[in-house]
Structures are given as structure tokens and as C-alpha cells.
Structure 1
Amino acid sequence: MAEIKKIGVFTSGGDAPGMNACIRAVVRTAIYMGKEVVGIQQGYQGMIDKKFVPMDARSVRNIIQMGGTVLKTARCMDFRTPEGRAFAYKNLKEEGIDALVPIGGDGTFTGAEFLSREFDIPVVCVPGTIDNDLYGSDYTLGYDTATNTVIDAIDKIRDTAASHDRLFFVEVMGRDSGCIALHAGIAGGAEAILLPEKETAIDELIEKLEQSAEKKTSSIVIIAEGDKNGGAYNVAKRVKEKFNFYDIKVTILGHLQRGGSPSSFDRVLGGRLGYAAVKSLLAGENRKMVGLRNNKVELTDLHEAIHNHTFKLEEDLLEMANILSI
């Protein structure tokens, strides 16, 4: 592998709190190691549109506390084609970029793997997604902040639920992963949690709510958007047809969960993973993801991080959530 002189860093896919902390760590670590850094605005679209911004240690000041991503993010259909990737690579070479640190989820990683294999440019990826659904890391950037945002919303909803003796169905993000729903549901004291990984029949949910109604005057049900019953509005409608004990309301938290200042955990995680990504590149690593496992930074083969779907919710938490909701 040729010596790396200039590293490109970019964010792609959905934004996540902690991305800016990671960008800051990448820039300052690379500069400390005597390398140049270029920020690529709007992800893969920025590669095609030549949106390259030279970065120094001062260019990332006062961003560690900011949500979102200062480098912006965008979807890019052109990059999905071999011709688009070839054009992006040509622009990277003209800019002198000879290694990349992509920050994002599985879509970001897939693009990085294609680009690296087709043109042999070194990449070390950082997992940045609130869904916490990538193999190879116990936590992804943004997950902790998003979960705390949901817990804060649940606490506020419970106040009005108790005041009016209402049943609230609260839908949270998680198309394929129920991590946010499970952890926020436990921390928020939800009476039931519906997850993509565990199909819950409406009759089973109603039975649980009936048991709860004997002892409680209000209830909260957390539903991950990928639950097989079709989302909070559909679940609420079906429950209301058979169970009219409560006044039923629905709240969709939506993109509220993506924003906000990152938690201390996500700031530190962004720093650790950004630092490790640069160190790994300079040590000769390629097509890897840096992740946190058992509180240690470890490398995972990028292809495995994308395609290994053995990531599962903790069985003890699933059982505990059911027990603690009585």
C-alpha cells in the first residue's frame, strides 16, 4: 500500500448525533499524524460534484456539541452505478485524496466497499446510525442520544396520559431494529413494547392491556416503526375495535429522534472511533469498520459488518421488559 498523505472524511445516509465529534477526531488525529484532511460535503454526491473542503485543526472547533453533521449528507443515485463511482474516484484522485473515512450506516458502508474494491482506495468506516443495527459494534454513533430523546418524550407523554387516564401508542424509529424501542421502553416504564424482531399478536397485546387496566389508570405502548402489525396508527385502530377501556392517543416521534446535542457517551464514542479509524488506515488496514465491543475498539471486516445479520436483541432484556411491566 502506498503511503497515505491525504484523508477524505464524509458523512452519508441518515444523520446521527455524534457525527461531528467523529469528524473532529478524524481531522485532528490525521493532522497530528502529519497528514492532510479534506472534508467531502454531502457524502457520495459531494464526490461527484467536487464538494471538497480542506480542513485543519481549527476548522472543527466548536462542533463537538452540535447535532447533525457539519459536512451535510445526501442520497446519491449516480454513485450506485459503476460509471458514477468511476467519476467519483477520478475526482478523488484529482484532489489528491488517497484514503477515506466514511461515517454512516450499511448503505454508506456498501458504497465504500464497492469503491474500495473497484479502485483499491483504502477505507475504514465508522458506524453512525441511531438504529444501532450494525454487526461489529455494541453501540453506533447517535443511538445513545436518540434513546435519551425518546425517554424524555415518554416521560412527558406519561404525565398527560396519567392526567387523562389515557392509553398512548408511541411510535419510535427502527425499521429493522428494535433497539431504541426496547431500551427506551424499559427505561420509560412502558406497559408493552412491539418490536420488528418479535411478532406480537394484537390479541396478545389486548390481553396484556386488560390485565394492566385492572391496576393502572393509564398505559404507554412503545412501537418500533418496523413492527409487523403496521405502525402505531394501525395498532391503535385495531386495539380500539376490541378494547375501549382507555381514551386512545397516538404519538409519532419521527425525526425528532435524530436531532439534538449528542450525549457525553456519543461524544466520547465519536472521538474514540474517529481516532481509531485514522490510526487503522495509517497502520495499513483497509475495508474495515471500527467498532466498540466490550468497551474496546475493535476492527470488523467491512463485508461482514454489512452482511452479517446475527445482531440480536438481548433475550434477558426482552424477558425483563415483560416482567417489569406488570
Structure 2
Amino acid sequence: MRVGVLTGGGDCPGLNAVIRAIVRKGVQEHGFAFTGFRDGWRGLLDGTARPLDIASVHGILPLGGTIIGASRTNPLAAEDGVDRIRETLAREDVDALVVIGGEDTLGVANELVERHGIPCVGVPKTIDNDLSATDFTFGFDTAVGVATQAVDRLHTTADSHMRVLVCEVMGRHSGWIALHAGLAGGADAILVPERPFDVDQVCGWMDSRFRASHAPVVVISEGAKPSEGDLVVKDASTDSFGHVRLSGIGDWLAGEIEARTGHEARTTVLGHTQRGGTPSAFDRWLATRFGLHAVDAVRDGDFGTMVALHGTDIVRVPIADAVATLKTVPDVLYEEAGVFFG
């Protein structure tokens, strides 16, 4: 049996760990052969592929990024996309696909399984941790670690200059990174997409910290927005899945704080540093286990499923369940963090 592997969407710490586990177990225990498709779904559209064997995955466990590339290509946006995928699979003699990605990438996999009968097994990947049906996605722990270290560092420079520092982190629709890093880093305000924020209330929190002789640090998700306002976007262009480019809310908020309170405010945008570089130990562990169980699902012919973490167990769930709704920050967790605001 020959199995195709692709990594779609943005790069993410732990992708190489998944690839390594899939290939090692698939070759050693199941006798499979593997083909890696370049740059996510684009590789299946364009027919660009490379062989994956045990030698090719040696030493990649601690590496960030992905050795087979990634892109935000949506093959279903092309009129002949499904036909081109079938042609590539036939030409490469591939019997099944392991699809590693987030909501958009796995949404395509679910469509291919349910409507076109193309056998796929999913592996959940996103630093945003917003995929339903799994407790955690790999990449999230690394992103939180990077963001927490940044918040720790910002506290010292904020106090040195007695200015507000706003740290913008990733999170289009969900505020998991902001919540975890903000709470772990002792942020004085955490602003997430799930809860539109009142700018005057945020300014009140800032004034409260200055009265206590401390300079405040704010952690804000890129998808957060004021209660009276819209998302801040870089431009009006969209990717092939219809997403606009976010980022800019941190600068906007810093300007509002400075104008309304008179306190100097600056912004740090962490951007791609959150998903680049070597994965944490937890993400290597989780990604490896996902890979081992994904290749077993292929062996069992259990297509249309995604591996997921439930407690400490790796289970299989329908891909459809994972992409039906996003996993967002519940009110109870946000209210826990609110004790430390202001």
C-alpha cells in the first residue's frame, strides 16, 4: 500500500514529528510506502511529490516547519480540482491520504471523503487550538511558550519606562493563545475574539495599574475587536479560503490607550515567531502519538476519521465533527482570568 502525506495551511511546530512517526511506523510495522505531496493541497493539484522513507525522516523530530512544505491552497476552489487530485493519486499510485492540517485543510479532506470517496485520515494541526473534538492540537503549546516568554520580557521593559505595552498574538476566531499566555505571563488585560471589549474599560484597567505604581501589559488576539467597531485588517485581500489578513488591532489599541489616558503605549506583534522554530517537548510528544495512530487508522481502513486527544488517550473521531464548529474560549475560563485585570 502507498500512502500520501500532506501538510496544509500555515506551518506549525510538530509537523515534522508527525511525518516522522507516520513513516517510521508505516514502513517498519505495516510495510507501507509513502509519498509526500509538496505544499499541501497544491502538490495534489500540480502533481509535485517526493518519496518519504526512513532515511528521509531521520533527524527531523526537533525541526520546525515541514520538510514537505505547506500552503493555504484550496483545491475545491478550482473547477477541476477534484479531477486533478484523482489524476495525481493515480499517477503516483497512492491508495490513501494522511492529511495534516487545521479547519480549512481538514474541511477539504472531509469533503473529499464524503462527496468524492477519496480515502483520507486527518491529523489536527493548528497553533490556535480551535479544532473541535480534540482537547489539544500540536503547535499550541509551543506558541503559548513563545508568547509567555514575550510577556515576561515585556513586563520588565514596561516597568522600566512606565508605559503600557500591548502584545498582539495570533488567534483569528479563538483566544486560546492569548488566554493561556496572558494568564501564565501575568497580563493586566487579556482581549480575545470571543468577547468584544470596551476600550474605556481597558483604559480604566490601565489607570488602575499605574496608580499601583506598575506599568501594565495587555495581551490581545489578532481577531479581537472593540464592542463598537470592526476587525482590524491589513488589507481587503483574501486567501483561497476567503480569510482576510488580520493584524493591526494591537497598534490600534495602543493608540486609543495613549490618547485616552495620556500614558505612553507601545505594541509588540509576535506574528510568525509563534509558529516558527523548534517544537516544545509536549508538541513533539503529541505530534508523534498522532502520527502513530493516524497510520494505524489507514491500516484499518478507517477513512473519514481524525485522530484526537481525549485526556491522555488518542482516539478516532469523524473529521466532520472536528470541522463542524470551532472550539472557542468559554466564558468560565475567561472570567477566571478576569480576576487579574487592572
Q: Deviations over 1:165-224 (max 9, x none)?
A: 111011100010100000000011000000000122011111222222211331100010
Which residue of structure 1 aligns with residue 337 of structure 2? 321
Which residue of structure 2 aligns with residue 104 of structure 1? 101
Please tell me the residue identity of whatever aligns with 1:155: D
1:252 to 251, 263, 269: 269
1:147 aligns with 2:151: no
Unaligned runs of 5+ in 1: none
Write the mapping of 1:256-275 to structure 2, written as runs, cut at 5 A: 256-275=273-292
1:235 to 245, 253, 269: 253
| C-alpha displacement of 1:71 | 0.6
CA contact (8 A) 1:166 1:217 kept: no
Question: Helix, strand or coil for the counterpart of 1:102?
Answer: strand
**RMSD (Å) for aligned C-alpha atoms:** 1.5
1:12 aligns with 2:12: no
Cα distance in 2 for residues equivalent to 1:19 and 1:69: 6
Write the mapping of 1:72-151 to structure 2, written as runs, cut at 5 A: 72-151=69-148
Higher alpha-carbon deviation: 48-57 or 77-86: 77-86
1:28 to 24, 35, 40: 24
Cα distance in 2 for residues equivalent to 1:75 and 1:248: 34
CA contact (8 A) 2:5 2:36 kept: yes
Q: Deviations over 1:258-283 (max 9, x none)?
A: 10100000001111101111111211
Which residue of structure 1 aligns with residue 295 of structure 2? 278
Aligned residue pair count:
320
Question: Helix, strand or coil for the counterpart of 2:129?
Answer: coil
Which residue of structure 2 aligns with residue 157 of structure 1? 154
CA contact (8 A) 2:17 2:288 kept: yes
Q: Deviations over 1:290-311 (max 9, x none)?
A: 11111211222111211123x2
Please tell me the residue identity of whatever aligns with 1:62: G
| C-alpha displacement of 1:316 | 4.2
Question: Helix, strand or coil for the counterpart of 2:168?
Answer: strand
Q: Identity over aligned residues, as a percent?
A: 38
Report the TM-score, using the length of structure 2 for normalisation. Answer: 0.90
Cα distance in 2 for residues equivalent to 1:89 and 1:299: 26
Unaligned runs of 5+ in 2: 227-231, 233-248
CA contact (8 A) 1:13 1:107 kept: yes
Q: Deviations over 1:8-58 (max 9, x none)?
A: 111011110000000101111111211111111111111122222121112
Question: Helix, strand or coil for the counterpart of 1:211?
Answer: helix
Report the TM-score, using the length of structure 1 for normalisation. Answer: 0.94
Q: Deviations over 1:95-133 (max 9, x none)?
A: 111111111111111221222234322211111111110
Please tell me the residue identity of whatever aligns with 1:25: A
Cα distance in 2 for residues equivalent to 1:57 and 1:165: 54
Which residue of structure 2 aligns with residue 226 of structure 1? 223
Question: Helix, strand or coil for the counterpart of 1:182?
Answer: helix
Cα distance in 2 for residues equivalent to 1:213 and 1:164: 12
Cα distance in 1 for residues equivalent to 2:161 and 2:202: 21
Cα distance in 2 for residues equivalent to 1:184 and 1:162: 19
CA contact (8 A) 2:165 2:267 kept: yes
1:43 aligns with 2:33: no
Cα distance in 1 for residues equivalent to 2:200 and 2:278: 40
Higher alpha-carbon deviation: 207-216 or 86-95: 207-216
Cα distance in 2 for residues equivalent to 1:89 and 1:159: 56
| C-alpha displacement of 1:81 | 2.7
Question: Helix, strand or coil for the counterpart of 1:278?
Answer: helix
